[in-house]
């Protein structure tokens, strides 16, 4: 009887997690679109913020061309981390997180869905982890921060 009750509670929590995640997605999308539109509005050629972002973006592309093979394991790690983050958002229990130098990587979760499967292709994990840091960056260090953010966006796109 206790086992059945735990199973019911687990199913209720899973359903609640899925519902909350689906309800939160429009807010994430709205926030991302507002941030993007503000960036586009501020995209005047003499805008220092955009220039800093662009410098970071271009510098990462140059680093990527030179060190592509060495950075591949970092890309694999970030890719698998994104699967893991979305799996946790959907209350899937992680069983394995493997990243290797030569054979790629994989994440084993207690279940999956299309968002977990596709997450690395639409969610720039590193950029999202960097965004909250902006609140703590001193104004005079903002160009460096924006360069790092630009590099993280380039990293996601390669």
Tell me the per-residue pLDDT of 41-92, one tens digit each, with 9 for 90 and over.
Answer: 665 566 677 888 888 999 999 999 999 888 899 999 999 999 999 999 999 9
Nearest residue to 71 (alpha-carbon basis) of 43, 79, 82, 48: 79
In this structure, the answer to whether residues 61 and 10 fall within a common structural domain is no
In this structure, the answer to whether residues 139 and 101 fall within a common structural domain is yes
Which residues make Cβ contacts (< 8 Å) with residue 105, sequence separation at least 6?
A: 76, 77, 79, 80, 97, 98, 99
In this structure, the answer to whether residues 26 and 101 fall within a common structural domain is no
**Domain limits at 128?**
48-157
* Top-confidence residue, 144 or 36: 144
pTM: 0.68
In this structure, the answer to whether residues 37 and 55 fall within a common structural domain is no
Q: Are 106 and 80 in contact (CB under 8 A)?
A: yes
In this structure, the answer to whether residues 53 and 29 fall within a common structural domain is no
* Top-confidence residue, 33 or 87: 87
pLDDT at 41: 65
In this structure, the answer to whether residues 30 and 58 fall within a common structural domain is no
Q: What distance in Å separates the CA atoms of residue 113 and residue 95, rounded to the nearest whole number?
A: 16
In this structure, the answer to whether residues 60 and 130 fall within a common structural domain is yes
User: Is the confidence at residue 94, as pLDDT, over 70?
Assistant: yes
Average pLDDT, the chain: 87
The total domain count for the chain is 2
In this structure, the answer to whether residues 68 and 133 fall within a common structural domain is yes
User: Is the confidence at residue 125, as pLDDT, over 80?
Assistant: yes
In this structure, the answer to whether residues 90 and 133 fall within a common structural domain is yes
Least confident span in 27-36, 71-80, 138-147: 27-36
Least confident span in 37-41, 49-53, 112-116: 37-41
Least confident span in 9-18, 100-109, 144-153: 9-18
In this structure, the answer to whether residues 82 and 113 fall within a common structural domain is yes
Least confident span in 10-24, 71-85, 112-126, 132-146: 10-24
pLDDT at 24: 83
Least confident span in 1-10, 118-127, 132-141: 1-10
In this structure, the answer to whether residues 83 and 144 fall within a common structural domain is yes
In this structure, the answer to whether residues 95 and 131 fall within a common structural domain is yes
């Amino acid at each position: 009887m206790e086992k059945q009750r735990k199973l019911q509670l687990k199913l209720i929590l899973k359903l609640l997690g899925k519902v909350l995640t689906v309800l939160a997605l429009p807010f994430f999308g709205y926030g991302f679109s507002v941030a993007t539109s503000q960036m586009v509005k501020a995209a005047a050629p003499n805008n220092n913020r955009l220039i800093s972002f662009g410098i970071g973006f271009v510098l990462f592309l140059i680093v990527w061309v030179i060190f592509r093979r060495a950075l591949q394991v970092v890309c694999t790690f970030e890719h698998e981390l994104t699967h893991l983050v979305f799996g946790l958002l959907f209350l899937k229990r992680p069983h394995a997180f493997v990243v290797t130098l030569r054979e790629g990587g994989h994440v084993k979760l207690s279940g999956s869905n299309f968002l977990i499967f596709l997450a690395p292709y639409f969610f720039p994990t590193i950029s999202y982890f960097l965004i909250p840091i902006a609140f703590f960056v001193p104004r005079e260090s903002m160009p460096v921060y924006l360069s790092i953010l630009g590099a993280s966006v380039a990293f996601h796109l390669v």
